[in-house]
Each structure stands twice: as structure tokens, then as C-alpha cells.
Structure 1
Amino acid sequence: MAPSHHFFWLLCLVDLCLGKIFTAPEQITSRRYDFVVFSMIRSDWSCYVVQPGPFAGCVVASRLSENPNVRVLVIEAGVSDNGTDSAVISTPILAGQGAGTVFDWNYTTTHQVGLNGRAFAYPRGFVMGGSSSLNAMIYQRGPRDDFDRLASVSGDPGWTWDNLQEFIFKNEKHVPAWNNRSDAGEYNPRVHGHGPLLSSLTATPWELDRRVMQTAADHSDEYPFNLDLNSGDGLGVGWIQTSVGNSARSSSSSAYLHPALDSRNNIDLLLHTQVTNLISSGSGSKLTGVQVSQNAHEYEFAATKEVILSAGSVGTPQILMLSGVGPKEELQKFGIKSVVDLPDVGRNLQDQAIVGLQWEAKAETLSGLLNDPAAFSAALAQYAINKTGIAAANSVVNSIAFLRLPDGSPLLKGGDPAAGPHAAHFEFAFLASPLGSKQRVELITGNSPQNTFLANDKQVGPTTGNWVSIAIVVQSPTSRGSINITSSSAFSYPTIDPAFYTTAFDIGTAIHAVKAAQEFFSKPAWDGFIGAPFSDATNLDTDAKIEAYVRKWAMSNKHPTSTARMSKNSDKSGVVGPDLLVKGIRGVRVVDASVLPFAVGGFPQAQVYIIAERAAALIKDAWCLN
């Protein structure tokens, strides 16, 4: 059976000792972590347990270890992010190509009613840094409306955009691309900070991007140019910023965990060890530790302060339910004793569906490189030698647009699901290549290329020519899915049902967005550049034809949220309060995208970093660690 939970961190207030990296619990039996020697350890030390997946726990663990009196042991189920084949996750041009490899949990969705019954892969990071080591690296914080709505829903003004500025600046820093080209006029330096996570703009703008910006300039009423989409203004056309610095992916592991391991003697790492459940006290009112497993051997670690769970929108609800925290009736089906009945655990799953449209291009795009194995191999060889060249930056997607439905749209008659007037209903990402080309991952893994054009799920296309794509995303979906356990075993995968396009708003917005994309490429700025659409996207001239196309080809944008959503402490609904503590039980806090009540108006990566930075501050304040 496949392993289940991402990874756990045990943080204990003990004396300092030299930090090391371990691959098995028995390797550290002679160290001061007494609990690893026995099947059950009770300790008088004050401890925290953190499971960071996709990546928020890296931030929390690093920030807590800033206090020299805090001893940190990192216990992870996944693999190292700098070992064998790690180039596929660290090389910028290979962004997203770690999906389906050893770095991926290799989940699969349920058959989607709204997508003609299709099921498909659901990548999540099985590696240090979680999904921040696996994603497409886009760093967009989204509109201030998202955070202000979070503050309103939670009843905590500390979550407003204005009050989070300290943590925004503490997380990220803008740096130049590898070639040091001038990016003046493409971002606003005043909205970027001094944090360990590095972000940058592309090193290689394409003719496609120039025409995107020209369209915005020519039609500013429809497509206003946004100097920096990380400014809190979430609408308009702008440049994509990615978590790339020093010619490599900047992940929560490389930015937070590795520096802590390299510079502090109070943080250690234990790899290849997974959690099976959380341990509650005899009364069940407090979570006191964690049970982990490696090679069929189980160990229990006590946590006398609190458990901090950051397993992501899939892993967090699964662990909570296996530990007796969740819908009581659902747990009873699998013989799991209910510790606290929280019906919203695993519910309210929100994800953003994505579908690609492609056109021939009458000028050079990245397709030429991706379709030429010799040229692409040469680019990877150059990168391996000196970390320069086209592989040293994200050159696939450089420009983006966040747009809204017209004010009078009938789709809004039932209410506006976006966070506010400055939050988008849909998104265009402009790609100077076929979306999702397999050429990149096949070359890096040594497999023979089969199809260099794979724009949508199982869509096969040409292997020659120049192509461009628009990736269309419904940014504020109203569909609600779920995560459900399938047994009482931690080694059984949960079911993942994003419930894509199961509301009239979602499919209606997708149809509107396809027509808007066609309109965008019909503007004069595209004369002489855009050719015919790819054959699968020809004759999309009625709503019915567009709907059929979307339902045939759409897939997940891999942005799951809301399965342990935040609400006011006084609300009976929700899973965590504004302090991220799980309702109805003492000693456990959730820090990941699952706490977000709604899908994000930007990209989840940036928002999770911000949440994690504030969470670390809340924990420090709670236990007087500042």
C-alpha cells in the first residue's frame, strides 16, 4: 500500500546539541531524544509537533528554532529535495515536471461528474518542502480582498491585508533573473520585502509577452496593466513572479529548512518516517503526541505543549479523521473512536479547474526548444555546468491576467463568490509553448520523448511548429468537494473529489472565459502573430461547443484549499478558529492551505507562506518564545 502522511516535525525545549540528518529512528537512540528508543515516551520537556505538507511547516519549524532554547527534530515521510534526480524539481524550466515521479504522492481524484466521468492525477509533494518543491513556482499573493474577507470570516482583524504586511515582508525578497536583465517597469520594488524566499521575473520575455502587454496598453479599460500583482491589487494584466532565485527553485525547504539545519545546532532532520495518527490524552480532550511508523515499526512521541499540523488540504483532514477528529458518523464506519465531532473536517474542498486553448504562432516561441531534444539537452547541460541559460529561469509562462465577469452578468445574480470588487472571477496565463509539454521531464529522466504537445489531460498534439497557449482558470469557484478516508489505516489513500464544474456559476464562468480569450487574441496587437487554433479548439462558436470542450479537457490546477477551514470561535461550523487551533480539543493547531475558507484570488503558495509566518508568531506569543 502507498504511504499516507506527508511528514511530522517534533519540536522540543531541551538542551542544545549538534544538528544532524537521520534516515531511521534507531539511528538517534543514543541522542537526547529519549522517546525514539521506546514505543512510548513521556517527557517533561515542552514540545510541539508539526507536520509540514505541503510546506508551511518548514516556515514554522525554522521560525521556532530561532529561539536557541527550542530543540527541533524534523521527521519526514518523503524524500530529500537534493538527492538523486532532484534536478527535476530544482531546475526552473522543469517547474511542475516532478509530478508523477518519486517526489509526488501520486494521488488520483475520484471520477468527476462535471468532467465526463474522468479521473486524473492529483500531484502533491512527497519531498522536503512539500508542494513548494513540486509546483509551478508562481508567487502571486492575490488581492487584499482575500485577506480582508479572511479577517471578516474569522473575526480576527490580524488577518487583514494591512495587518499582515509585517509577515508579507518577512517572507519574500525580489531578486534579478540569472542574466541580470533590467526588470524596471515590470514590478514595484516597494511591495517586496526582505525574507528568505526569493522571487524573480523571467529572464526571457517572449514576443508573446510583448503583445500581451501591448493589448493591455491598447485596451486599458478592458485589460488594465497592473505593475505588480503582489501589491494587493488583484486585477489586470501583469508579469508573473516566480519563486526562483540564484538560478534555482526557491522552496520552503531551500529558503527556510536547509538554512536552519546548516546554521543552528537545535534542529535535526529524520527522513523516511511517517505519521499514522495523533495521540490524545485519556480524556480525549487534548492531543499529546504523535504515532509514527517506519518499516512496520511504530514509535510514539509525546507533545506536552501542542501539535501543529500542516499536512495540506489532503493530508490534514485525513490525519485528523484517523485521529478521531472529524464527522462522527463517518469515523464510525471505520471503527474509529470519535474524540471530537467536527463535521466540516474534509468537507468544503475547493480547487480551481484549468483548461488550455492553443494557437499556432507565426514567430518563435519556446516550442522550438521543447520539440528539439538536442537543443533542450544542450540547455540542460549548460545549466548543469554554470546555472545559466534558458533553463535557469521559468521561461514558459511570463504574463498573466486576472479578470472579472461584467457587472451585469446573469452569473452574478445569485451573489458574487469573489472576495471583493478587486478579486478576479477567472484568470488567463499566457504560455509560449504547448501547455504541459512532456518533453522536459522525459529528457531529464532519460525516457524517449513520445508527445511534445500535451496541452490538457491526455490531449495529443503536434511535435513541430511554434505554439502558444492560454491556460484558463475559474478563480472563484462555487463547487464544493471533499476528502474522505477509506479505512482506519494510515496506509490507505483518501478519496479526493474536487467536484469540478458542478455549479452553473463555474461552468458558466468557464464558458465566458473561453470567449473572452478568443476576443483577447482577436485584438490588433496580435495581427501577424496568431495563427489558427489547434484542431481540438476549432469551431468553438457556441456555448454548447465550449462547454463540451471544457468538460472534455479541463483538469485540476492543483490548488486545493478549505478542508479544515477557519471560522469564528463562536461559529459551530468550521474546523479551526482565528488562532488556527482546532475547535473542541486542546493542543492542536493547523497551518496550511486547508484553513483558507475560500479558494484564493491569486496562487495558494504565496498565501500559505503568509499564513505560516503569522502562525509562527502566534505560537511564539502563546508560549513566550520571543
Structure 2
Amino acid sequence: MAPRLEELCLKMLLFLCILKSSQGMEFTGMKYPFLRMASSFSTAPPRGYDYIILGGGTAGCPLAATLSQNYSVLLLERGGSPYGNANVSYLQNFHISLADISSKSPSQAFISTDGVINARARVLGGGTCINAGFYTRASPSFIKEAGWNEDLVKESYPWVEKQVVQWPELAPWQAALKDGLLEAGVSPFNGYTYDHIYGTKVGGTIFDKDGYRHTAANLLASGNPEKLTVLLHATVQRILFNKRGPRQYACGVIFKDENGRRHRVNLNSRRSSEVILSSGAIGSPQLLLLSGIGPKKDLMKFNIPVVVDNWYVGKGMSDNPMNSIFLPTKKLIKQSLIQSVGITKMGSFIEASSGFGQSSDSIHCHHGIMSAEIGQLSTIPPKLRSIEAAQKYAKTKHEVPREAFKGGFILEKIDGPLSRGHLQLVDTNVDSNPNVTFNYFSHPYDLQRCVYGIRTIERIVHTKRFARLTEDDSYTIEMLLNMSVKANVNLIPKHTNDTASLEQFCRDTVITIWHYHGGCHVGRVVDENYRVLGVDSLRIIDGSTFDSSPGTNPQATVMMMGRYMGVKILRERLGRGAGV
């Protein structure tokens, strides 16, 4: 047997062993005995559940695990298990889940009205199953503005980190970015750190040294299996309310299973029992609206009975815009996702990815996180992007010349954009994506920061570190922005000798880094303890309550938030001395 063929056979055998082991873990493994299909649900406990959590995602999993230490918890997740799905579990398959637009995909594509293709997680573990794996905490100012207890925050981050986070082995492209950032003046170097600090750093990762992903779903192993039930493929259709005096309170939910059969599940009669929405920045405001909480005019249009007339539900939506530059290199660069980052005081963050594996056989499968293959059509202006365009590209991607894949991406994203948008229902089907508008770059300061980011990338490209990697060390920003069609990115002709042209480049090539947030803001939709205003026994604990996205990637803080709020709720019910 030829060495190359033998190596491939051994890899396949190893993969099948891992897959078999993972599939066994899905429902019967010792770590996760509480995972069940939604169709297995018959009746709730005689007195109902203490907590019903809607969404087993980045916040929902740690929240459920924590609350189950003392109370009965039902976690309803509309997606399936991440275990046994190689496209979720392995770094080299990162792009495949995002490219898959089938009904069984762990991600659900949606196109904002701005024309930017995005993705919602649809799998146990949420966004931690389909993201680029970067782990970094929020800044101290974010923690302070959120009003969180600093001591409890400092307890909650390590609880997450001990279970799912590791330090990365720095890939060549990531090492080049680190050195290039420092040479370009994005300093100091802060080393390997989870902290959000100005300058250049290397963050944590949820991928281990073998490229295996550890997700928020793993945190469920810390739950009490006698008090925790997790239903997969359980799609919540609406929250149920009842009256207690003059106020309404959440008393249960209606969900459908994987066969389309509807089920009702109730809270128990205790006043402290709650339904907790943890369905993300798209799902949580959508479910509030479908359940009768939102602008009265919008609800009446769909004949939804009004429970609370709140104009702010779905308002203030925001997404961190991103733009990317493709840089050709002399030879193939090992695949890597986000590991190094440059944090500037302008609020422009510089990151990088190289999107293909070491094997030339797989070169046409991995074209970076910006490729049209996963829906990021930066080759055409936003208004011309569509799911159909992505499908058309998928059919012809084999025609892209091999040389186009020799290189990597340098990315810049805007943190805390001042541009805001909104979310509205298109119908009363919970499976439908609502209309979402982010209004990218509608605020002039966001454009200023994008231009600053692009010019920072230009400085990095001209450093000695990158000169050793690239085909031509005389690249100008004009040449990079006008890269040939072979590279399949940033194809819109540009003249970049003035700020206006760079601003137009930002508008025309805007893409997402999947850090959307808002729609259920504190003080407008929920109070400081995340209780929904106007009703009882209902909270929202996820990124829809954020006014800005924390750190350079929100997953660390959203997982921490789930743990934090779980402990906070337990201490409120059991007393501060409760051991959690």
C-alpha cells in the first residue's frame, strides 16, 4: 500500500472509531444520560418543572447545568446533538456546517435586509458548535456597565474555562499576524491571555491540540442528571401565560417534536418557578413576539393576542461588521482560525484566518471563513447577495484555480457599532427567519473605524514578517483590494487613494463575524435581573440583552453569563451561603 493511501486509511479508521464513540455518547453515554429526543416526552413531572429553559445554546447549557444542582430543569433545544457530527466537532470542517443550508444543518442561514448572509445556531451547544473557537473575556468596563458582581464573574469564567477552554498551539499564519501587528505598532504584546487588553495578544480556544471542538454542551456534564432533562429537536412555538391578580405570568410552553407533534409542558405552582428564554439575539425576541410581547401594532397584524405592549422588543439590533483582505503567499499555509488578535483603541480589531488544510487534496474544500462557500459573498455588493448565489457558487467552486487558495485572510471588525437596526416577524411560523436589519455603517463613526482597520492591515502587510510569506512584497492596498478573480474575494474594483473610496469598499464588502446582539435590552425589555417587564416568571438570559458585543468574541461572556445567572438565582432562592 502506498504511504499516502495508508495514511488516509489510518485517518479514516481513527475517525470512524471517534464517530462511533461520539454517537454512543449522544443518548446513552455516562456523561449525558439526560439527552432525549423530543418525541420521547410524554408527561411532565406531576407538579411541573421548577425551570423551563428555551434554548440549549451558549448561555442555556451552563444555566441549565447550574440550576439543576438544586431544582428540576427542562431544557428545550430545537436542534440535535453535536456529538457524532464531524462537521461540528473538527476544526478542519468548520466551514461545512455554515455552508449546509439543509433543514438538518446545525446552522440556519438567514439574510439580513442589508444583504449580509448570516447564521443562527440550531444545535445543542449553540454558537459554540459553529464558531471559529476563539475564547476571550469581556473588558472590565463591560462587566461594570452590565452591573454584574465582579467576584461572582471571577468565579464563573474559570468554571467554564476548566471544562472547555485550552491554549492554542500557534499556527504559522497566526504567528505571522502576531509579529506583523507588533511591527505595525499595535502594541504592547500581552502574551497568552483571556483578558481584553489594548495591544496584541493570543487568546484561548475551544479546540484542543487535535482540532476537536469542546462546546457549551459539554458543560451539561456538570448538571445533576436526576434533576435535568434535555429534549433535542424540541421547537418551542410559544410561551403560555396565566393571570395572578392583575398581572400575567408565564406558566408553561407549547413545543413541537421532530415529528411535528405538539406538546404542552408546565411550570410547577411555586411562584419562584420560571420560564427562561435563552434562544439568542434572533430567537429570543422572535419568541417574545410570537407569545404576545412586543409592539401592539405588529402583533395585531398577525392576530397574536397582546400580553404586553412593548415597542422595544426587537429594536436596537446590532452586528459587528467585518471586512477582509486576501493575501497571496509563496506556498500553502496551514489551516487556522482565530488565535491572535490586535485590539486598537479605535475599536477596530484585527484578526486572521487561513482557510485550508495541509493536504493539497482538500484545497478546494477550504477557502477561508470569508468564502462564498459559507455564504459570505464579499465578491459582490450586499444587495446582490442571496442564498441562490451561494448555491450557484457551490456548483462551480471546482473551477476556481488552485493558485487562488495559496494565501490567507487578514480581517478587521468593528466593535460596538453605533449603527442599529431592528427585527420583525414575517409570519407566525417559528421556523421562519424573521426580517432582521442591522443598518451596517449607517453611522459615520463606524465607517471611520473600518477605514482605520483597513489602513492598519496595509501596515501589517508591509512588515518584514509578511514580506517573507507573500509572493510580492510590493503589494499596495490598491492591489489587494483589486485582487484578481482567482482569489474569489473582494473583487469589486476600487481606487483607494482617498478615504471615500475606502469607505465604499467597507460598504460593498461588509460581512458578518456572527456577533449580532440586542433586541431585548436591559431597561427596555428586561430589568437589571433579566426579568421580562410587564409579566412575572419570565426571564431572558442571552446576548439579546447586550447593548454591545463583549470582548473580541462573545462566547466566553455568554457562557459565563449562563453560569453567573444560574448561581445568582440559586443564591437568591437558597441564601448566599448555598454551595454552588
TM-score of the superposed pair, with normalisation by structure 2: 0.78
Deviation at 1:77? 1.9
Aligned position for 1:553: 509
Is residue 194 of structure 2 the alignment partner of residue 230 of structure 1?
yes
- Whichever residue aligns with residue 575 of structure 1, its letter is V
1:339 and 1:403 mapped to 2: Cα distance? 45
Aligned position for 1:279: 240
Deviation at 1:314? 0.2
- Secondary structure of residue in 1 paired with 2:201: strand
1:146-157 maps to which residues of 2 (within 5 A)? 146-151=142-147, 157=148
Q: Which consecutive residues of structure 1, in runs of 5 or more, have no partner in the other structure?
A: 1-17, 36-42, 113-118, 152-156, 173-194, 368-394, 406-424, 445-449, 568-573
1:337 and 1:455 mapped to 2: Cα distance? 38
Aligned position for 2:13: none
Is residue 227 of structure 2 the alignment partner of residue 288 of structure 1?
no
1:193-212 maps to which residues of 2 (within 5 A)? 195-202=162-169, 204-206=170-172, 208-212=173-177
Does 302-311 or 162-171 show the bigger shift? 162-171
Does the CA-based 8 Å contact 1:582-1:590 persist in structure 2? Answer: yes
Aligned position for 2:461: 521
- Secondary structure of residue in 2 paired with 1:244: coil
1:362 and 1:62 mapped to 2: Cα distance? 49
- Whichever residue aligns with residue 308 of structure 1, its letter is I
Aligned position for 2:313: 345
Check 1:565–1:581 CA distance in 2 against 1; reply closer, same or farther (3 A cut): same
Deviation at 1:606? 0.8
Provide Cα deviations, 1:250-281, integer angstroms capped at 9, x if missing partner. Answer: 1011x212564xx7333333222211100000
- Whichever residue aligns with residue 556 of structure 2, its letter is A
Deviation at 1:528? 3.6
Check 1:440–1:592 CA distance in 2 against 1; reply closer, same or farther (3 A cut): farther
- Whichever residue aligns with residue 113 of structure 2, its letter is H
Aligned position for 2:292: 324
Provide Cα deviations, 1:282-305, integer angstroms capped at 9, x if missing partner. Answer: 355211111112344322111131
1:155-554 maps to which residues of 2 (within 5 A)? 157-158=148-149, 160=150, 163-172=152-161, 195-202=162-169, 204-206=170-172, 208-218=173-183, 222-231=186-195, 233-245=196-208, 247=210, 248-253=212-217, 255-258=218-221, 260=223, 264-282=225-243, 285-294=248-257, 295-304=259-268, 305-362=273-330, 364-366=332-334, 395-405=336-346, 425-433=347-355, 457-458=378-379, 462-464=401-403, 466-530=406-470, 531=472, 532=475, 533=480, 534-535=483-484, 536=491, 539-554=495-510
- Whichever residue aligns with residue 457 of structure 1, its letter is S
Deviation at 1:527? 3.4
Is residue 109 of structure 2 the alignment partner of residue 103 of structure 1?
no
Deviation at 1:99? 1.1
Does the CA-based 8 Å contact 1:579-1:618 persist in structure 2? Answer: no
1:346 and 1:88 mapped to 2: Cα distance? 32
2:87 and 2:202 mapped to 1: Cα distance? 24
Does the CA-based 8 Å contact 1:439-1:451 persist in structure 2? Answer: no
Check 1:320–1:438 CA distance in 2 against 1; reply closer, same or farther (3 A cut): farther
Q: Which consecutive residues of structure 2, in runs of 5 or more, have no partner in the other structure?
A: 1-31, 381-396, 485-490
- Secondary structure of residue in 2 paired with 1:401: strand
1:51 and 1:546 mapped to 2: Cα distance? 43
- Secondary structure of residue in 1 paired with 2:452: helix
Is residue 535 of structure 2 the alignment partner of residue 614 of structure 1?
no
RMSD of aligned residue pairs (Cα, Å): 3.1
- Secondary structure of residue in 2 paired with 1:226: strand
Is residue 554 of structure 2 the alignment partner of residue 604 of structure 1?
yes
Deviation at 1:508? 2.0
TM-score of the superposed pair, with normalisation by structure 1: 0.72
2:68 and 2:462 mapped to 1: Cα distance? 54
1:438 and 1:343 mapped to 2: Cα distance? 54
Deviation at 1:235? 1.4
2:44 and 2:184 mapped to 1: Cα distance? 66
2:201 and 2:255 mapped to 1: Cα distance? 45
- Secondary structure of residue in 2 paired with 1:291: strand
- Whichever residue aligns with residue 249 of structure 2, its letter is K
Deviation at 1:357? 0.5
1:453 and 1:133 mapped to 2: Cα distance? 15
Aligned position for 1:76: 77
Does the CA-based 8 Å contact 2:52-2:75 persist in structure 1? Answer: no
- Secondary structure of residue in 2 paired with 1:469: strand
Aligned position for 1:22: 36
User: Which of 126, 131, 141 is the equivalent residue of 2:137?
Assistant: 141
Deviation at 1:454? 9.2
Check 1:96–1:583 CA distance in 2 against 1; reply closer, same or farther (3 A cut): farther
Deviation at 1:19? 4.9
Does the CA-based 8 Å contact 1:434-1:455 persist in structure 2? Answer: no
Provide Cα deviations, 1:311-369, integer angstroms capped at 9, x if missing partner. Answer: 000000011111111222221221112211222211111111111111222355237xx
The alignment-based identity, stated in percent, is 20
Check 1:451–1:278 CA distance in 2 against 1; reply closer, same or farther (3 A cut): closer
- Secondary structure of residue in 1 paired with 2:286: helix
Does the CA-based 8 Å contact 1:106-1:124 persist in structure 2? Answer: yes
Aligned position for 2:16: none
Aligned position for 2:9: none
1:400 and 1:510 mapped to 2: Cα distance? 16
Does the CA-based 8 Å contact 1:430-1:471 persist in structure 2? Answer: yes
- Whichever residue aligns with residue 577 of structure 1, its letter is D
1:50 and 1:454 mapped to 2: Cα distance? 31
Is residue 32 of structure 2 the alignment partner of residue 54 of structure 1?
no
Deviation at 1:552? 2.0
1:399 and 1:128 mapped to 2: Cα distance? 28
1:542 and 1:462 mapped to 2: Cα distance? 32
- Secondary structure of residue in 1 paired with 2:442: coil
Q: Which has the higher helix share?
A: 2
Does the CA-based 8 Å contact 1:347-1:482 persist in structure 2? Answer: yes
